[in-house]
Amino acid sequence: MTQNAHHEAVRQAPSPGASAGHVGESASLDPARHRALAEIRRGDGDELGALAHLIAAHTLDAYAGSAPHASAANLCDVATGYFMKGDLAIAEYWYRLVLTLDPRVATACQNLAAVLASAGQVDEAAGYRERAYRIQRVFVEGNGTEQRRVLLLCAARTAGNVPFDALLSGADWCRIKYAIDYAADEEDDLLPPYDLVFNAIGDADIAAPLSGRLARFVSRCARPMLNPSALVARTQRHLSASLLNGLPDVQVAPCVQRDAAPASSAALSALLAAGGLDYPVLARPAATHGGDGLVLCENPAALEAWCSTQAGVSYLTAFRDYRSTDGFYRKYRIIFVDREPFPYHLAISPHWMVHYYSADMEQHAWKLEEERRFLGNPHAALGERAMHAIAAIGRQLDLDYGGIDFTLLPGGQVLIFEANATMLAHFERESGVLAHKNPYVQRIVDAFERMMTRRTPV
């Protein structure tokens, strides 16, 4: 085979981004293949990719030779670097290779679970997550040059954590993730040193069963804590009305929490009446976001049928038709950092269940232009009345990091859909049509960094 033909064969071989996840193939375990891929990546100007393949080759050599100190740690660092950059397909490729060599690398299990969950592979993600936290409860992520260390309290058993990858992606902080729901109390005393604590268990329904465990941690913790669990607990959906409805120009739809299937139709009617609800009713399981499991029940028969399928806790909320005069539904998101509001996005949809990914924002220039106006000048887009209300909401929530999804009513009032700590803010592809959002995401990230710096003891 000529050199050019050899290069072409290597270039077409399974590799990160080309066939992510197929590293179980024999070629992917061949050190020579990785050295050849390193040469190709270097020729393409991808020095990071070349280094990754060279590390893979050295690691595979060590395992093949049964070296006494053979370890997949450096290869796992490669995967984690890609993971923190958001290159998830490449991260998955390397994490799977790590676990082929050493199935007990907990960091690889944990982050591979996150990658799979983001791709909708829920069952496989759950398996890797369980495996990770049985092995290990503390995960340290950093490049060794950080000046400050933040302890992230996380719930390992399910999704319920604040999405913090964009917020803490810089090189200034070392992230110490602590799966506190798997950890015994005595493990708190064995944690590595840290400067600041961020309670990332932002879903109040997930946090509720952990309240005693979190309280014991707080009672022994001498470091400052962001998003204390007692404040997160106030953000359960059925508590939002009592928390926020007293604020001027703020409305929250009545909501009740349902612990079990009502014993009868009369009992269900009594529950709704006690909460001030009438039909139609929005019904959703607790601890869900993004519209998962959310249904609109127009009448008692529909709601009773839905309730009969739900074994766990759920929420019933009065539905309000918030359609704008042009026939579209609008859902705005504001992120609060240290109680200060920052615009994040606007989604516009012909359907009442509005989500950015299903609203076809990218396909309509007028929608994106309206979002740009909101991001660039929310005071002009919403009006001073609404912005005063939003500022009051941030103060009342009193979270160090959180947010609201809401719409603007014709009279200038703010109708809240959701107010809690789990609000996602992430960067878009620089080459994509949503790249206009990135400067505003950067403002959120910068504000979060400044807050953490202020709260860190000197």
Q: Are 272 and 316 in contact (CB under 8 A)?
A: yes
The three-class DSSP label of residue 173 is: strand
Q: What is the pLDDT of residues 399-436, one digit of tens each?
A: 999 999 999 999 899 999 999 999 999 999 999 999 99
Q: Residue 421: which of 177, 154, 203, 152 has the closest Cα?
A: 203
The amino acid that residue 53 corresponds to is H
- Quote the tokens at residue 184: 């015994």
pLDDT higher than 70, residue 388: yes
> For residue 162, what pLDDT is reported?
92
pLDDT for res 310 = 84
Query: What's residue 23's pLDDT?
Result: 39
pLDDT exceeds cutoff 70 at 13:
no
pLDDT of 292-347, one tens digit each?
A: 789 999 999 999 999 888 888 999 999 999 999 999 999 999 999 999 999 999 99
Is the predicted pLDDT of residue 55 greater than 70, yes or no?
Answer: yes
Name the H helices within 282-399: 300-307, 365-376, 378-382, 384-397
Q: Please name the residue that has the structure tokens 């996380």.
A: 154
pTM for the complete prediction?
0.80
Looking at residue 53, its pLDDT comes to 94
> Is pLDDT at 69 greater than 60 in this prediction?
yes
Helix, strand, coil tally for the chain in percent (to 5)? 45, 15, 35
Q: What is the pLDDT of residue 348?
A: 97
Measure the CA angle with vertex 401, ends 399 and 403; round to 5°: 90
Mean pLDDT, all residues of the chain: 89
pLDDT at 17 over 80: no
Q: Is 425 helix (H, G, I), strand (E, B) or coil?
A: coil
Secondary structure class of 10 (helix, strand, coil): helix
- Rounded CA gap, 426 and 84, in Å? 12
Paired tokens of 287:
């601890």
Give 240-266 as a DSSP string: HHHHHTTSTTEEE--EEEE-S--SSHH
- How far is it, in rounded angstroms, from Cα 317 to Cα 418? 11
Is it the case that residue 120 has pLDDT exceeding 70? yes
The domains found in the chain, sorted by start residue, are: 1-133 (1.25.40.10), 137-234 (3.40.50), 254-318 (3.30.1490.20), 329-455 (3.30.470.20)
* pLDDT greater than 50 at residue 11: no
